[in-house]
Structure 1
């Protein structure tokens, strides 16, 4: 067996160009297969880790996926707002331990602005129930102070003391900006790998203040100055959504039913975990399509290797005949071809694994910043080992085709080839 392995190695090194191209073909297939699997699983993990410890999310009457997207992922807009009195009623409910109000609708340089209060910094958790932490500064205390996520600070070059102008609506254009009411950055949150990193946080009272003199997204006339607004005490009228943490998980469904049948205004209460499950169910078609493309690329790579082996086999008929003449049995020739195919597949897999880690290490910060997906450079999972095992097995099976052809070639056929 050792002699066959040595012979297979010498044969491959004698055909370096063909062997390297075959290895690269398999490696590219493995890179795509593992890359898609990594991004798929890490995306699911990042989505699942975006919010933790929240029992119910409450918003205007809407589908649970839509409510989850705009309240947690800052994607899309609410169908209706919630009256502040409804928030007060449910935040003081005997079953509720804490409540976080959320007000959305404004933006700053492409980043969503969220109005909230102290409860957000105290109770909001992500990942494995990790609390928010400040990289620099503190919470907002006065009307025109803001706290920004790590991506906002990095992208816009902001630091403590920087000024920012908030725009009305998602589109940050000149006519929609609150130019005369600049906010001062007083805190920068530590990176979380969630939409928190891409959010500008201000107080609920500040959201009310900057919209004095505005109606339906349009400025109706001159707006008060910051000094005039700071001397006024604002009362919150409406919010976009609220997150609730309950004293006991047993009360979750009872409170959800009570909120969904609330007769003062139409509300929807969702369980984040169930809504996430529905969201991934909707995306399963795209997920399966990506995996199917990866599998077809692997098949194409293995067929390329088969083509290379069959082509080289025609050029090596004399080599096989000489081996037979020197005492090699048909099974030895068969084992030689299988060993070559197996070795080339294995080398392609190893090269592919190295390529995946190299590409992900380079692309990791880009993926995190652009898409909010934290791709961790973890070890190879059991599922990935299984996929790589299938690739190796497929490579060995592919090797049976040229090996069987070589096995059937006779001694006389090999010795009489014209060269």
Structure 2
């Protein structure tokens, strides 16, 4: 009975109810959306690299090393000698190593020089291995493997040739036009910066920089190297490398040895610790966004209460008639509370549908532009608690106009005011 009356009452005031509903839907969608993106971004960040015990680069801060080696952001302070890399990678506690040579790009995407160990040992997420959607790993100097986002955005297929550029800017005037690379493999999507990367061999990086100095060829266009010269190519420097150890117990000891390496100033970091520091730095912005959204939601709830209070003056006669035909004061109280509950439940449902549709539409953009694979269902373990608390707050605020209706006498409502 009361539910039917509440539904009909809202329908009779559908214009005002709709505006209140829209404001609540937008506010709840913002709150759930920011919370969802925060958690999904954190999950995506922490799953970018998995199973790597140490990341080593030239002496710098651990965040800078993490950003350019894992997330392809920023630049290295210096290079590392290939000889010293080999010396460290042969340490008795080292199980595997992945060299990384950075500093070039292709149409805004970072180029990574590495070797076969990258495809064998690199892990992301829950110890997931890199898979090929098409083709295979590079086997020759002028061959390349593309990340999924690179191939998708630029429309590349196997067998096409690409030109690498010197530097990491979106636009470069120093290009290695005389030494194109052939696409021989395209990786399956990973939801990590791997999707945004162009992978070539270390020999390929060395080949395109033969005769270069200061970002330009010393003697103009360099002749293409012969097969014998290509076979004899050996890297002289790299940007950094990843290490997997035989025993986790040896991690801190080896980290200390690398940080105290006498032959060259190096920095070894633990990826997990560096990721935690990075997320801690971002937590202030994250909390500020949540606070602003919460204030918007509170404002919408107060607006709903204000709308109900204003409507009570217009509904005094309606409530008095209900009292006159036998409705008890507590029934009128719960009638208003049911209206508030209906608006809140509809707002929550509308917010979830709106947010899910928005995430479904934004998912390809987030994946291709930012390397974030976001779930389209914005529900987490605490979401039910948040929405229950929201419903409780709305009922408490709705109790104010409900109580005024409860206190109103029949005579007050039937008096015709001139």
Deviation at 1:418, TM superposition (A): 3.2
Partner residue of 2:70 out of 69, 72, 76: 72
Q: How does 1:20-99 map to 2 (within 5 A)?
A: 20-99=18-97
Q: Please name the residue that 2:185 is paired with.
A: 187
Q: Secondary structure at the match of 2:244?
A: strand
Check the 8 A contact 2:145/2:199 in 1, yes or no.
yes
Deviation at 1:174, TM superposition (A): 5.4
Residues of 1 paired with 2:298 and 2:91: CA distance?
59
Deviation at 1:172, TM superposition (A): 4.9
Residues of 2 paired with 1:49 and 1:173: CA distance?
30
Check the 8 A contact 2:105/2:166 in 1, yes or no.
yes
Deviation at 1:231, TM superposition (A): 3.1
Q: Please name the residue that 1:123 is paired with.
A: 121
Q: Which moved more, 1:300-309 or 1:197-206?
A: 300-309
Deviation at 1:340, TM superposition (A): 0.8
Residues of 2 paired with 1:157 and 1:205: CA distance?
26
Deviation at 1:173, TM superposition (A): 4.1
After superposing on structure 2, the runs of 4+ consecutive aligned residues of structure 1 that deviate more than 6 Å are: none
Residues of 1 paired with 2:406 and 2:376: CA distance?
45
Residues of 1 paired with 2:252 and 2:130: CA distance?
27
Q: Please name the residue that 1:336 is paired with.
A: 335
CA deviations on 1:312-331 (whole Å, 9 max, x unpaired) are: 11110100111111122221
Q: Which moved more, 1:70-79 or 1:298-307?
A: 298-307
Question: Which TM-score applies when normalising by structure 1?
Answer: 0.97
CA deviations on 1:18-77 (whole Å, 9 max, x unpaired) are: 222222211111111111111110000000110000000011111111110000000000
Q: Secondary structure at the match of 1:306?
A: helix
Q: How does 1:8-407 map to 2 (within 5 A)?
A: 8-173=6-171, 175-228=173-226, 231-232=229-230, 233-378=232-377, 380-407=379-406
Q: Secondary structure at the match of 2:110?
A: strand
Check the 8 A contact 2:36/2:379 in 1, yes or no.
no
Check the 8 A contact 1:26/1:301 in 2, yes or no.
yes
Deviation at 1:97, TM superposition (A): 0.3
Check the 8 A contact 1:29/1:301 in 2, yes or no.
yes
- Which runs of 5 or more structure 1 residues have no equivalent in the other structure? none
Deviation at 1:110, TM superposition (A): 0.3
Deviation at 1:359, TM superposition (A): 1.0
RMSD: 1.4
Q: Secondary structure at the match of 1:7?
A: helix
Deviation at 1:285, TM superposition (A): 0.6
Check the 8 A contact 1:194/1:373 in 2, yes or no.
yes
Check the 8 A contact 1:212/1:223 in 2, yes or no.
no
Deviation at 1:397, TM superposition (A): 1.1
Deviation at 1:335, TM superposition (A): 1.2
- Number of matched pairs: 417
Residues of 2 paired with 1:278 and 1:206: CA distance?
35
Deviation at 1:219, TM superposition (A): 2.2
Deviation at 1:222, TM superposition (A): 2.8
Q: Secondary structure at the match of 1:102?
A: strand
Q: Which moved more, 1:267-276 or 1:7-16?
A: 7-16
Check the 8 A contact 1:209/1:229 in 2, yes or no.
no
Residues of 2 paired with 1:403 and 1:238: CA distance?
75
